[in-house]
Amino acid sequence: MADSITATAEILKHPRMDPQRRAWGILLLSFAAFCVICVVTGVGVSYFLFQSTVPLESTLRVGRGTGSITGQAIYTERTLSNGDELATDRQSQVVLFFRDNQRDEKLIAAVTVRGGTSLVVRRTQRPRFEWGYGVYGIELRNLRGEVDIFVTKDLSREFRLTVSTAQGDLIDLSTSGQYFISASDTRLQVINREGAISIVPANQNEGRSIPVNSQGTITYELDSRQVTVSDAYTNLLANSTFQDVSTVGDDGGISQTLALSWACSNRQDASPRGDYHPEIKDGRWTMRLVRGDGATSNGETRCLSYFGQDRQDVSQYNYVGLRTTFNINFQSLDTCGQAGSECPLMIQMDYLDEKGEFRRWFHGFYSRDNPQSNYPLQCNSCFQEHEIINPQSWYTYDSGNLLNLFPPGERPVSIINVQFYASGHEYDVYIGEVALLVGNTDALS
């Protein structure tokens, strides 16, 4: 009797679950788990296929001197990784190339890091797959110094490049174009040469757009939150990037592509003759000057932009300078030849001084050096020594204010023309830009 009462109590204490209810519970729990797995898997697959990213192919190429990646000296070229810290000394210049390796190494952007500059390549990205929704993204941080930024045209997807300074300001680029950024402890300067760019001051939510051919400036000692917009230096040369071209032909049916606003020619008595033509190189229009065929005698290929009989009056400006971006692909002579006048690239400006006397300014660049040749590093008519540049590397030369170079009375008052030319035996050079810049530094400071 007692055992029966105990068994009944145990049954009442632990009632047996209905097997049908248990089965439904297990089924519902399994279905819920299945739904969760499907959602998580679907979201994960969708993210992987359409939103996940991979880094852009990023390389550093030394244009002059040496570069540094996280304290390690780089003399020619090296691949970059996200998080790398870059630096240049005062005499050096490097270029960062960002390419899409899924589109035949197409160049997306090139950032020229000038002398005395440091920055961090925080992150680069592109969609993992070509059908992805994402954008080309480049993020540079802690900029101190100066950079030129070139973003190629006809990109296959949206683009964004951001640069933050050591002061906490943010510079935002969203389209193809050309830009200049200078960041120091006292001032931030941003120049929009072509494109769309804005500045967001530190601890601010709204930015200020900088129009084309204008500059935005923050002077920290005045107001670190105020962006002042003003005109940038004026470029007096038409078609300075050689992107405006036309095709002409002769009676023999031979056609040639020419850059508008530039008159080019070869030295008539040179054999073999050189060649000149516009050509796209690394995403930018260039003028290519080339002479080969094993030439062992002097030749010259020259291009000129002429201001006409009235010339170009620059007497009202206190700043006159030249900027050029180029790539010396090859030269056969050492330095600039025996007389120091056969450089693979020379830039020249003809002008009248304050007394109306004709004067000429030259500056040369070369990429092949042989100290045993003892060739001069400066031509007889040059004010400065020629500059050595690494071969097959892009380099941007900025003359600074040429008015400070000439003695009083010999400064330019009216400019007749600006020229660039290749001279020597064999040479091959790409010129991406030649700009004659003028302005008044008081208004631009």
Mean pLDDT check: name the lowest of 39-43, 123-127, 161-165, 373-377: 39-43
Residues 265-274 have pLDDT tens digits of 998 777 888 9
For the chain, what percentages of helix, strand and coil (3-state, to nearest 5) are there? 10, 45, 40
What confidence tier does 253 reach under pLDDT thresholds 50, 70, 90? low
- 200: Cβ contacts below 8 Å, ≥ 6 apart: 169, 170, 171, 172, 206, 207, 208
pLDDT score recorded for residue 435: 97
The answer on pLDDT for 424 being more than 50 is: yes
Instruction: Examine the domain organization and report whether 181 and 272 are in the same domain.
Output: no
pLDDT over 80 (residue 10):
no
How many Å apart are CA 193 and CA 213, to the nearest integer?
Answer: 5
Neighbour-count burial for 247-280, b at 16+ CB within 10 Å, e otherwise: eeeeeeeeeeebbeebebebbeebeebbebbbee
Q: What is the CA radius of gyration of the chain?
A: 31
14-18, 115-119, 246-250, 386-390: least confident range: 14-18
In angstroms, the CA 199 to CA 430 distance is 33
pLDDT at residue 180 in the model? 97
pLDDT in tens, 300-357: 999 999 998 889 999 999 999 999 999 999 999 999 888 888 999 999 999 999 999 9
8 pLDDT band (50/70/90 cuts)?
A: low
Please tell me which residue, 395 or 444, carries the higher pLDDT value: 395
Number of domains in the chain: 2
User: What is the CATH classification number for the domain harbouring 305?
Assistant: 2.60.120.260
Q: What gap in Å lies between CA 180 and CA 163, rounded to an integer?
A: 11
Burial class (CB in 10 A: 0-12, 13-18, 19+), 291: buried
List, in order, residues 6 or more apart from 247 with CB less than 8 Å away.
255, 256, 257, 258
DSSP state of 387: E
Distance CA 388, CA 65 (A): 9
Report the predicted TM-score, pTM, of the whole model to 2 decimal places: 0.87
Q: How many CA atoms lie within 13 A of 230 on its CB side?
A: 14
Q: What is the pLDDT of residue 48?
A: 59
Tell me whether residue 296 is in a domain: yes
Neighbours of 357 (CB within 10 A): 11
Position 166 scores a pLDDT of 92
Same domain for 148 and 80: yes
Whether residue 105 lies inside any domain: the answer is: yes
Residue 417 vs residue 205, higher pLDDT: 417
Amino acid at 356: G
For residues 275 and 180, state if they share a domain: no
Its domain, for residue 440, covers 245-444
Window from 29-38, 165-174, 218-227, 250-259 with minimum mean pLDDT: 250-259
Of 393 and 41, the one with more pLDDT:
393
- In the numeric block, the tokens 């402890």 are attached to 185
Burial of 416 (0-12, 13-18, 19+ CB in 10 A): buried
Over range 14-41, report the average pLDDT: 75
The answer to whether position 123 is within a domain reads yes
If asked whether residues 266 and 337 sit together in one domain, one would say: yes
Cα separation, 116 vs 125, whole angstroms: 27
- Residues 305 and 158 reside in one and the same domain: no
Is the pLDDT higher at 143 or at 53?
Answer: 143
Tokens encoding 246: 């036309």
Who contacts 283 (Cβ-Cβ below 8 Å, separation ≥6)? 106, 107, 110, 150, 152, 153
Q: When comparing pLDDT for 280 and 131, which is higher? A: 280
Domain boundary pick from 201, 231, 261: 231
**The pLDDT of residue 288 is above 70:** yes
Domain boundary among 231, 264, 296: 231
Side-chain half-sphere of 292: how many Cα atoms within 13 Å?
A: 9
Q: Do residue 223 and residue 134 come from a single domain?
A: yes
- The whole-number pLDDT of residue 445 equals 45
Average pLDDT of the chain is 88
User: How high is the pLDDT of residue 391?
Assistant: 95
**Section 63-74 average pLDDT:** 93
pLDDT digits (tens, 9 = 90+) for 84-101: 999 999 999 999 999 998
Last residue of a domain, one of 231, 263, 278: 231
